[in-house]
Structure 1
């Protein structure tokens, strides 16, 4: 279940409903999908083959299509990151820089965990949103943010897009970021 830390105040927010309400106040979509639906072969599997990926997408087909219909997403895929991922350090350097996109950044976490660092509204400053299996988050377009892995460096996520080619990171320089 997601956990939020507001960097300016050190306040922590936990609990599905509290997290959802806070993120909603920041125009960030948060949902929680039933991770119990996953077969054992996909739990904690961070080296997915094509059959695993198809199975994962099939398990959550109803949830994916519902979210896509509500939010206008047209395509989806799966990303798996771990120490076994080729060029992991290069990928992380790309992810770990504050940036924006011209469409939402949507992730449905199915295994592992990570942190989205997102610029809050007004004078909120940056917030850390720790996501774990079952958490679904959509960082709105043009919202400064970045993503990083937790210490165990493992995550699997379903990604949804309007246009995969349109999902390009645009660097965002912000003196407030700390």
Structure 2
């Protein structure tokens, strides 16, 4: 289940309803899918064949199509990152810069853990959303954020897009942001 850490105060928010309410107040969509639906042989696998990616998409097809219909997403894929990912450090450096997009950034975590760092309202500042299998988040367009791995350095997630070519990151320079 997702957990939030507000960076300015170190306050932690946990529990599905509390997380959902806080993220909603920050204009971030949060949902939870049943991670137990994923076949056991894929629950802790972070290097995936095209067939295994297709199996994950098929497993969550109903949830993906429901979210896509409600939010206007037209295409989706799987991203799998781990220490076995070629050029992982370069990818993470690219991810770990605050940026915005012209469409939502959506992640439905199917295995592993990840973290979104998001710029909240002025009274909140930056906050971390620690995600694990089953957590679904949609950071709205133009909201400064970035996504990265947690200490386990393993994640598999469904990404959904409005634009069929995917999203493009637009750097967001913010002197208020401090890496934690």
Cα distance, 1:147 vs structure 2: 1.0
Q: Which runs of 5+ in 2 are unaligned?
A: none
**TM-score after normalising by structure 2:** 0.97
- Runs of 4+ displaced beyond 2 Å: none
Q: Count residues with an aligned counterpart.
A: 178
- Do structure 1's residue 130 and structure 2's residue 127 form an aligned pair? no
CA distance in 2, matches of 1:152, 1:63: 26
Asked if 1:67 is matched to 2:77, the reply is no
Consecutive unaligned residues in structure 1, runs of 5 or more: none
Partner of 1:82: 82
Equivalents in 1 of 2:76, 2:16: separation in Å?
25
Instruction: Indicate conservation of the 8 Å contact 2:74/2:164, yes or no.
Output: no
- Give the C-alpha shift of residue 166 in structure 1: 5.1
TM-score, normalisation: structure 1: 0.98
Report the CA distance between 1:123 and its aligned residue: 2.7
1:121 & 1:162 partners in 2: Cα distance?
25
Q: How far, CA to CA, are the matches of 1:164 and 1:14 in structure 2?
A: 34
Query: Where do residues 18-29 of structure 1 align in structure 2 (5 Å cutoff)?
Result: 18-29=18-29
Per-residue CA distance 1:23-53 (angstroms, 9 max, x = gap):
0111100000001101111101100101101
Rounded to whole Å, the distance in 2 between the matches of 1:166 and 1:62 is 21
User: Which secondary structure state, in structure 2, belongs to the residue aligned with residue 17 of structure 1?
Assistant: helix
Deviations 1:53-86 (A, max 9, x none): 1110000000000000000000000000000001
